[in-house]
Structure 1
Amino acid sequence: MTLPERIFVIVVESVGDRDAEQMPLLSRTDAGGTRHAPAFSSMLLATTFLARAQELGHYVKLDYIFPADGRRIADDFPEHAIQLDPSPEAFFGSVSGI
């Protein structure tokens, strides 16, 4: 999948001090161990995702929304499989309290 040049990822609060080398992305791990992270083609889609997720009962411990380079996202976050513009229903499924 080709991502746009600029995307937005959701960074969640971390326990302890911030580490400039590590940004904890909002993610979920599937049964196979793959960590999926949503990314959005606009800030509006990212904030709409968060608002809708909250309406559905999914509490996201938001730290900030980070603009990322879509061309480098796989290198910057190799431990994540990026999902572009997912709905909260598709991303969270039936699990709340993320």
Structure 2
Amino acid sequence: MEKEIAAKRAVMEITQEVMEELVQATGFHDAYNDLVIAENALIEWSHSTIKHEKSYRENRAAIDAMYENVNSSPEKRQELIQLSMKIR
């Protein structure tokens, strides 16, 4: 992609539209969207699954708040995804 940007830069200004075309051409945008969909499915599944655990019933408000705020920061989202992957 860097080579393509350099080649385009030699003949034209790199605008947002040009950059968007390059990103689409690499497939990065589609891969990112697929990843977000998979993460959301994992988060939703973990929230449904954890509701059957005793620890959930004892800490329901805190756990539900964590799921409600999953998109408040990338760090919180990452932490919840990591925790979700540990559920059996």
TM-score by length of 1: 0.28
Higher relative contact order (CA 8 A, sep 6+): 1
Name whichever structure is richer in helix by fraction.
2
The structure having more radius of gyration, on CA atoms, is: 2
